[in-house]
């Protein structure tokens, strides 16, 4: 069988991705029970509060001071796709939009011309632990869409299709199709200005879970597409008989036969695919543009306008404990989930 693997790399906190993606971060935090302020009901002594990225006791505060997460910060020129596997995220932004999502939900936000938002991880349970696991993927925007209007779409977990496959031995592989399609299983529409909105770009974001011993063949893509597989949980897999251990990223050929055979324990993989944008990328902090002058312009405009200001009374917005999963969009439209 042909060699399907281009390269293999170890996974760190920030995962290296291929164009059109910029990077992916895997947040995995075993938060303790929460206090009345939605933070950890334990001492924060010894932590670098405001910049806590060391997984002391299995969890981090990140930039939060009382509540874990990322208080108000700006973005321009790209998109974030936030996939929450477990736990919850409270969103608020400079457009006046807000939300709480989690336990399988996905928020897809186009930063476009500029937005400020906060992403906090409220510890809602005061009687038991609050585990959190999420991926945040940064997807680039082409030059023609860098200044599109800021916008977000909620992909609620019950609306994201799951492709189910059983191999010849009856072993199961399930693929949650967040972007793209597999046969007749098509993801919900991404934001309208996204690179993923054009099917010709063949953008795919799939969460793959494989039963021990399961076998699955990836669908082929066009020869110009980039594709990566992130093996973040399990023991080992084989790709066309080449054994790969867990906590590895694997860049794959797009248009050949690729058969994944799982090892002796359940495996979880994130799959990213897309046609490259093939434009210069200048990233500086929260801004991703095409050249240095545009980065300077972004900082100047942010200093002058704050991308619409901040209509909230605190930088680390958390919503009432009584709220369920919901989204309020900039136009006032509200979605609620049980």
The secondary structure of 213-230 as a DSSP string is T-EEEEPP--TT-EEEEE
The pLDDT, as a whole number, for residue 241 is 86
The pLDDT, as a whole number, for residue 303 is 95
Q: Give CA angle at 298 (294, 76), nearest 5°.
A: 100
Q: Could you count the other beta carbons within 10 Å of the beta carbon of residue 63? A: 21
Q: What digits encode the pLDDT tens for the residues 3-33? A: 899 999 999 989 999 999 999 999 999 999 9
**Statement: residue 133 has pLDDT above 90:** yes
**Statement: residue 1 has pLDDT above 80:** no
H or E element in which residue 302 lies: helix 292-305
**Statement: residue 120 has pLDDT above 90:** yes
Pairing between β-strand 78-86 and β-strand 204-210 as defined by DSSP bridges = unpaired
Q: Within 13 Å and on the Cβ side, how many CA atoms surround 50? A: 0
The pLDDT, as a whole number, for residue 2 is 60
Q: What digits encode the pLDDT tens for the residues 143-185? A: 999 999 999 999 999 999 999 999 999 999 999 999 999 999 9
In whole angstroms, give the CA distance from residue 155 to residue 189. 9
Residue in 163, 279, 255, 270 with CA at minimum distance from that of residue 202: 255
Q: How confident is the model at residue 270 (pLDDT cuts 50, 70, 90)?
A: very high
Q: Give CA angle at 13 (8, 15), nearest 5°.
A: 40
Q: What digits encode the pLDDT tens for the residues 86-106? A: 999 999 999 999 999 999 999
Question: Quick one: average pLDDT of 314-331?
Answer: 96
- Read off the tokens for 14: 């920030």
Q: Give CA angle at 232 (240, 249), nearest 5°.
A: 55
The pLDDT, as a whole number, for residue 338 is 78
- Read off the tokens for 207: 């969460």
The secondary structure of 88-143 as a DSSP string is EEEEEETTS-EEEEETT-EEEEE-TT-EEEEEE-----SSS-EEEEEEEEEEE--G
168 within 8 A of 135, measured Cβ to Cβ: no
119 within 8 A of 80, measured Cβ to Cβ: no
């Amino acid at each position: 069988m042909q060699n399907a693997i281009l390269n293999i790399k170890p996974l760190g906190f920030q995962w290296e991705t291929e164009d059109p993606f910029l990077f992916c971060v895997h947040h995995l935090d075993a938060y303790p029970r929460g206090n009345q302020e939605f933070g950890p009901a334990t001492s924060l002594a010894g932590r670098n509060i405001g910049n806590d990225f060391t997984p002391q006791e299995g969890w981090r505060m990140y930039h939060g001071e009382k509540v874990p997460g990322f208080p108000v910060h700006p973005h321009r020129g790209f998109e974030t796709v936030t996939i929450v596997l477990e736990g919850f995220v409270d969103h608020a932004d400079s457009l006046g939009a807000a939300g709480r999502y989690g336990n399988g939900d996905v928020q897809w936000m186009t930063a476009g011309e500029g937005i400020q938002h906060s992403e906090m991880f409220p510890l809602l349970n005061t009687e038991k632990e609050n585990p959190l696991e999420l991926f945040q993927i940064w997807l680039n925007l082409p030059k023609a869409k860098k200044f599109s209007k800021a916008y977000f779409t909620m992909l609620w977990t019950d609306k994201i299709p799951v492709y189910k496959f059983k191999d010849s031995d009856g072993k199961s592989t399930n693929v949650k199709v967040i972007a793209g399609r597999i046969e007749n299983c098509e993801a919900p529409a991404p934001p309208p200005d996204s690179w993923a909105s054009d099917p010709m770009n063949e953008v795919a974001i799939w969460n793959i879970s494989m039963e021990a011993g399961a076998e699955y063949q990836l669908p082929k893509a066009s020869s110009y597409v980039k594709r990566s597989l992130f093996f973040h949980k399990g023991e080992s897999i084989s790709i066309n008989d080449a054994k790969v251990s867990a906590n590895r990223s694997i860049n794959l050929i797009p248009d050949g036969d690729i058969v994944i055979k799982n090892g002796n324990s359940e495996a979880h993989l994130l799959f990213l695919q897309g046609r490259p944008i093939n434009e210069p990328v200048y990233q500086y902090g929260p801004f991703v543009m095409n050249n240095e002058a545009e980065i300077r312009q972004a900082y100047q405009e942010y200093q002058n306008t704050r991308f619409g200001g901040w209509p909230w009374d605190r930088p680390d917005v958390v919503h009432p404990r009584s709220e369920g999963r919901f989204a309020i969009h900039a136009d006032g439209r509200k979605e609620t989930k049980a």
